[in-house]
C-alpha cells in the first residue's frame, strides 16, 4: 500500500519535483489521494463515466517504459461486463495502448475530461495487446469524496454472497441477483433474506446484475433503511434492510462460485511445489518475503508467490524469473500453499489467466494449453 512508504514525490510536466502528502488510500479500488502544494497546477475535470458508450474515442496518457507524457488513442470497447463478478465487471475497457507505466494515468475523452484512471491490461506478453482497463471516473469521484472527508472509503454492507441468475430459473427473465448465502448477523439476515431469493430491486432501483447491486449497496448512506424487492419461490416479496458499514477485512457482498466451476482441492503430494499434471506444473514458485519484494522493487502492496524458474520448453516463456503471481483465474494467491491448491484444481485443457506483477507494473497473462 502507498501508506506504507516513508516519502512520496510527484514529478510535474516541467520537470519539477514536489513532495506529496497522502490524504487517503483504498486497496480495494486501487486508488490513493495525494496532495501537493502548487497553486499553479490546474486539475482536469472528472467527466460522468455513466454517459460513456462503447465506440467513444479516448486517449490514454502515462509513463510507459519511462517515456513520460506518452499519449495513445483508441475507443471504448466496453463500459463494464455484467457477466463478470470480479473487479473487471466494473471497469472501462479500451483498445488504447496501455503498457507497464500507464497505471495511474488518466483516460480522457475528446473534451480533455477524465473518464477513467488506467489500472490494468490483459496480455500474454506483459505489453499492450489492445485490452486495457480503467477505473471509471464516477468510481474515482465517490472514492475521492470519501477519502477527503473520512480518510477512507465508507462502504455500505448488506451481507450476502451471490451467484449469477441462471436462464429460466425464475420462469421470467434473467434480470436479478440470486442469493447464494446470507451472513449471520448481517443487515440481510436481519431483514429475513434467504438463500435462493432473487433480488430484483434495491430501494426502487432495478437490479439487473451483480455489479449493479454491489454499487448500489456500497454507495448507500449508512443506517438508511432500504426496501428490497425479491422473488422467493417465484412469488414477489418486499423486505426492509438497514444498511450498515462494511466490516474491515470482510467480503460482505461477493460472488459465490458458479455452478460446475472446479474449486481448489488440496494436492495429494505434500511437496512444496506443484507436481500434478497441471498447466502450471512447469512454473516453480517460492514465498514472497518483504525483503525479496524490496530487492525486486515491487509495489508495497504486492502479494503473491515469486516465480523462481520456468522450464524453457513449457510454452509459458512470457513468465520470467522474478515475476510475482498475484491471482490465478481471479483467485487470490498469497502463499505457495494457495498456489498449489489452485494449480491442482485447474483443467489442463483450458486457458488460465494469471495476474502478474513485474517490477512496478501489473498485467494479465493468458497461458493456453499446449
Query: What DSSP letter does each residue of 247-290 carry, written as one string?
Result: PTT---EEEPPPTT-------S--SSS--SS-TTTTEEEEE--H
Mean pLDDT for 207-228 is: 85
Lowest mean pLDDT among 74-88, 215-229, 236-250, 270-284: 270-284
Distance set, CA 65 to CA 72, 98, 126, 135, 353 (Å): 14, 11, 12, 21, 23
Residues 6 or more apart whose CB falls under 8 angstroms from that of 223 comprise 242, 243, 244
* Residues 128, 359: Cα–Cα separation, whole Å: 16
The pLDDT value recorded for residue 82 is 62
Lowest-confidence region among 59-63, 142-146, 201-205: 142-146
Place of cell 515469486: 306
pLDDT per position as a tens digit, 309-355: 887 665 565 678 888 998 887 788 889 988 888 888 777 777 777 88
Instruction: Give backbone dihedrals phi and psi of 15, rounded to 5 degrees, phi first.
Output: 95, -10
The answer for residues whose C-beta is within 8 angstroms of residue 271's C-beta and 6 or more apart is: none
DSSP state of 122: B
Report whether pLDDT(249) > 80: no
CA distance 366 to 129: 12
> Is 223 a residue whose pLDDT tops 60?
yes
The residue among 349 and 160 whose pLDDT is bigger is: 160
Indicate if the pLDDT at residue 251 is higher than 50: no
Q: Sign of the C-alpha dihedral, residues 84, 86, 87, 90?
A: positive
Using pLDDT thresholds of 50, 70 and 90, give the confidence band for residue 68.
confident
1-153: CATH number:
2.40.10.120
Give the pLDDT confidence score for residue 170 in this predicted structure.
45
Q: Does position 171 have pLDDT exceeding 50, yes or no?
A: no
Domains 1-153 and 156-255 are alike in CATH topology: no
- Please, which residues bridge with residue 110 across strands? none
Task: Tell me which range, 1-10, 119-128, 288-297, 340-349, is most confidently predicted by mean pLDDT.
Answer: 288-297
Q: Residue 298, exposed/middle/buried by CB under 10 A (0-12, 13-18, 19+)?
A: buried
Q: What is the mean pLDDT of residues 147-165?
A: 77
pLDDT at 309: 86
What topology does CATH give the domain 283-367?
A: Pdz3 Domain (2.30.42)
Question: Which of 53-62, 160-169, 219-228, 299-308 holds the top average pLDDT?
Answer: 53-62
| Cell digits of residue 41 | 497546477
Q: Where are the domains of the chain?
A: 1-153, 156-255, 283-367
% residues pLDDT > 70 (the chain): 81
Q: How far apart are CA 54 and CA 321, in angstroms?
A: 38
- Average pLDDT value for residue range 102-123: 91
Q: State which CATH number among 3.40.309.10, 2.30.42.10, 2.130.10.10, 3.40.50.300 fits the domain covering 156-255.
A: 2.30.42.10
Q: What is the pLDDT of residue 2?
A: 65
263 has pLDDT over 90: no
**Residue 124 or 182, more confident:** 182
Amino acid at each position: 500500500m502507498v501508506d506504507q512508504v516513508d516519502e512520496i514525490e510527484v514529478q510535474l510536466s516541467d520537470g519539477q519535483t514536489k513532495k506529496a502528502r497522502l490524504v487517503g488510500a483504498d486497496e480495494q479500488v486501487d486508488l490513493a489521494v495525494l496532495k501537493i502544494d502548487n497553486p499553479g497546477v490546474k486539475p482536469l475535470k472528472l467527466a460522468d463515466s455513466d454517459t460513456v458508450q462503447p465506440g467513444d474515442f479516448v486517449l490514454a496518457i502515462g509513463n510507459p517504459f519511462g517515456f513520460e507524457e506518452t499519449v495513445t488513442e483508441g475507443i471504448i470497447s466496453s463500459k463494464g461486463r455484467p457477466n463478470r463478478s470480479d473487479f473487471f465487471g466494473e471497469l472501462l475497457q479500451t483498445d488504447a495502448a496501455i503498457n507497464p507505466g500507464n497505471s495511474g494515468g488518466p483516460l480522457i475523452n475528446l473534451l480533455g475530461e477524465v473518464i477513467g484512471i488506467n489500472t490494468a491490461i490483459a496480455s500474454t506478453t506483459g505489453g499492450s495487446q489492445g485490452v486495457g482497463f480503467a477505473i471509471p471516473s464516477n468510481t474515482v469521484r465517490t472514492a475521492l469524496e470519501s477519502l477527503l472527508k473520512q480518510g477512507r472509503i465508507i462502504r455500505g454492507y448488506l451481507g450476502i454472497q451471490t451467484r449469477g441468475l441462471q436462464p429460466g430459473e425464475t420462469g421470467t427473465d434473467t434480470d436479478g441477483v440470486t442469493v447464494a448465502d446470507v451472513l449471520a448477523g448481517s443487515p440481510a439476515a436481519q431483514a429475513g433474506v434467504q438463500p435462493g431469493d432473487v433480488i430484483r430491486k434495491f430501494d426502487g432501483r432495478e437490479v439487473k446484475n451483480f455489479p449493479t447491486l454491489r454499487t448500489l449497496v456500497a454507495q448507500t448512506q449508512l443506517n438508511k433503511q432500504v426496501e428490497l424487492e425479491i422473488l422467493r419461490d417465484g412469488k414477489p416479496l418486499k423486505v426492509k434492510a438497514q444498511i450498515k458499514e462494511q466490516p474491515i477485512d470482510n467480503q460482505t457482498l461477493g460472488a459465490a462460485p458458479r455452478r460446475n466451476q472446479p474449486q481448489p482441492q488440496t494436492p495429494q503430494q505434500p511437496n512444496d511445489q506443484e507436481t500434478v499434471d497441471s498447466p502450471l506444473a512447469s512454473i516453480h514458485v517460492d514465498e514472497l518475503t518483504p525483503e525479496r519484494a524490496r530487492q525486486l522493487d515491487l509495489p508495497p502492496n504486492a502479494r503473491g508467490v515469486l516465480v523462481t524458474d520456468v522450464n524453457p520448453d513449457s510454452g509459458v516463456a512470457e513468465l520470467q524469473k522474478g515475476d510475482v503471481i498475484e491471482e490465478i483465474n481471479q483467485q487470490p494467491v498469497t502463499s505457495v500453499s494457495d498456489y498449489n491448491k489452485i494449480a491442482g484444481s485447474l483443467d489442463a485443457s483450458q486457458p488460465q489467466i494469471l495476474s502478474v506483477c513485474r517490477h512496478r507494473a501489473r498485467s494479465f497473462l493468458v497461458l493456453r494449453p499446449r
